Structure 1
Amino acid sequence: MSLQIIELFKGFRLMDLLDIAIVAYVSYKAIQLIRGTRAVQLIRGIIVFVVFTKLSEWLGLYTIHWLLKNAMTVGVIALLVVFQPELRRALEQLGRSRFFSSSLFGLGEEELSFLIDNLAQAAEELSKNKIGALIVLERETGLNEYIETGIKIEGYLTAELLINIFIPNTPLHDGAVIVRNDKVMAAGCYLPLTENPNLSKELGTRHRAALGVTEQSDAVAIIVSEETGVISVAREGKLSRYLDVKTLKNVLKEVYQIGDKKTNFLHWRRLNG
């Protein structure tokens, strides 16, 4: 037995190990990508479909096997349509990799610090007064398709401007504000809602929209609950809730890549752990 194992590993090359590692990594990332989405249920259905196809072949049910086999051929095209959101997310994440990326923002560190302070100040004031708000920070993935659904502003971001936008019973109160660099591009924007079936029912439309836009892009969303005043942040389809102003600033520093990146990264992981 031991000789057979030795013979087996004699032909094993370093490139084979690399090949296995790459396949394992890609598989792991694919599972991460579809976890918590409708793709999980679809994959289960595909597995059942394949099992029935093989069973019909083994049992000699030729008509059923022929139908299932031909349906599987057509199903490949159908899967491309059904999995379009997941495929889009995968390709966008590939395009956002550091290999293709240049500088994320065209702002200096002082300008970014001013931006973060104003975002945190606005969130704190809105939270104290229990004024609902949804602020989306554009990163590398363009959000023009959502900006066009709202009212264009294109004004420099300040805490006062954000607070004024979200005052209840005003024209721009509903919908999201989209921020590009240090400018408020538009307000009253419509965002896609998350398709995550495992999301808590206590989360309202703002939280679902925040998760939806962060699932489909690399944007980061700040949410203030109208009912509780709780500050939350959505990123990569994940939600961190019950943030205080200091924690929010730390998260934003990590987003804008300011300060100690290692500390900020560990802090974000702790929030989502």
Structure 2
Amino acid sequence: MLLGKLFEETTTLHLITSIVDLLIVWFVFYQLINVIKGTKAIQLIKGIFFIIIGRAVSDFLDLTTTTQIFDLVLQWGFLAVIVIFQPELRRALEQLGRGRIFKKSAVNKEDELQKYREEMITAVKYMAKRRIGALIVFERETGLKDYIETGTPMHADLTSGLLINVFVPNTPLHDGAMIIQGDKIITAGSYLPLSESNKISKDLGTRHRAAVGISEVTDAFTVVISEETGDISTTINSKLNKSISLEDLEEELKDYWQITNNKKEGGGLFARK
């Protein structure tokens, strides 16, 4: 009876340790893939798998010479992998030494959020200095599909160069609104509803009325650059914040992307649900 109980407990313990062992191996492989993702090492790993599969097939078919060649490649392959993967291995060891390898995805997200803010600030600063009018709408919870369909599809990465080029005067898309979802420029040249509020100063033009208008019917966050003065303004929840500084804009952008990221994380950065 006692022997049977001991055997039962040993089996359960062995099962638990086996599961933990598999989870550790899986986690290590997952982190290694994250380190080499987007590098030439991925293609080399595919080549290694091809060699291993080729070795198994040649052994199964009893192809003696082919099997010996595969064995020779695998024997010397270890040294070749160290030489070829040297940059990736060094980077992984550096991250491990800094304690970053297990925090990589969180660090990358923060780096990306910072990058988007810098791209926006660079573009806005350039356009404001040269009085290039711009209207940029950031989608939040309320979908902007109806307004996206009125513009020209772009589906491009958010970069300062592209932002500036879209709003350069006398180009086809400079008069409309640019709509951004997360980290992507979805469309440019879109038409927005104009606000009919009497509270808006008559000195402000169509861009500002459109910015307030979209904030009245959706929860979108909007950045406006005046073509006449170069002033930067933002709108959200029907409120117009006039003539704000670049520092204030950066804080508002930080809040926008942080909220967007928190609400949509789980399917990748800014994943649409």
Q: Is residue 170 from structure 1 mapped to residue 171 from structure 2 by the alignment?
A: yes
1:236 corresponds to: 237
* Partner SS state of residue 243, structure 2: strand
1:253 Cα offset (Å): 1.2
Deviation at 1:257, TM superposition (A): 2.8
- Residue 241 of structure 1 aligns with an amino acid whose one-letter code is K
Q: Unmatched 5+ residue regions in structure 1?
A: 1-106, 259-273
Q: For residue 224 of structure 2, what is the aligned residue in structure 1?
A: 223
Give deviations 1:67-96, integer Å, cap 9, x for gaps: xxxxxxxxxxxxxxxxxxxxxxxxxxxxxx
Q: Structure 2: any 5+ residue segments left out of the alignment?
A: 1-107, 260-273
Residue 257 in structure 1 maps to residue 253 in structure 2? no
Quote the Cα distance in structure 2 between the aligned partners of 1:228 and 1:122: 16
> Counterpart amino acid of 1:187?
A
Corresponding position of 1:152: 153
- 2:110 is matched with 109
Aligned residues: 152
Q: Kindly provide the amino acid, as one letter, of the partner of residue 140 in structure 1.
A: E
What percentage of aligned pairs have identical amino acids? 50
How far the C-alpha of 1:108 sits from its partner, in A, is 2.6
Runs of 4+ in 1 over 6 A off after TM superposition: none
Measure, in 2, the Cα distance between the counterparts of 1:120 and 1:215.
25
Show the 5 A alignment for 1:60-71. Answer: none
Structure 2 length as normaliser, TM-score? 0.54
Q: Which amino acid aligns with 1:109?
A: E
Which amino acid in 2 is paired with 1:238?
A: K
- Secondary structure of the corresponding residue to residue 155 of structure 1: strand
Amino acid aligned to 1:253: K
* C-alpha distance in 2 between matches for 1:108 and 1:145: 30
The structural deviation recorded for 1:244 is 1.7
- Return the letter of the residue paired with 2:201: S
Alpha-carbon separation, structure 2, partners of 1:251 and 1:198: 23
1:242 partner letter: S
Task: Name which of structure 1's ranges 237-246 and 204-213 shifts more when overlaid on structure 2.
Answer: 237-246
Distance 1:206 1:255 in 2: 21
- Considering fraction of residues, name the structure with more helix: 2
Q: What CA distance in whole angstroms lies between the structure 2 residues aligned with 1:218 and 1:122? A: 23
Q: CA offsets per residue over residues 167-216 of structure 1, 9 Å max, x none?
A: 00001111100000111000000000112122111111000000010111
In 2, distance between residues paired with 1:237 and 1:129? 28
Q: Which has the higher contact order (CA 8 A, sep 6+)?
A: 1
The one-letter amino acid paired with 1:144 is K
Q: What TM-score does the superposition give when structure 1 sets the normalisation length?
A: 0.54
String of CA shifts for 1:10-51, please: whole Å, max 9, x gaps.
xxxxxxxxxxxxxxxxxxxxxxxxxxxxxxxxxxxxxxxxxx
2:183 is matched with 182
Aligned mates of 1:109, 1:211 — CA distance in 2: 30
Question: Whole-Å Cα distance in 2 between the matches of residues 213 and 110 of structure 1?
Answer: 30
Name the SS for the 1:243 alignment partner: coil
C-alpha separation in 2, matches of 1:209 and 1:141: 17
CA distance in 1, matches of 2:238, 2:203: 17
SS in 2 for 1:127: helix
Residues 1:128 and 2:146 aligned together:
no
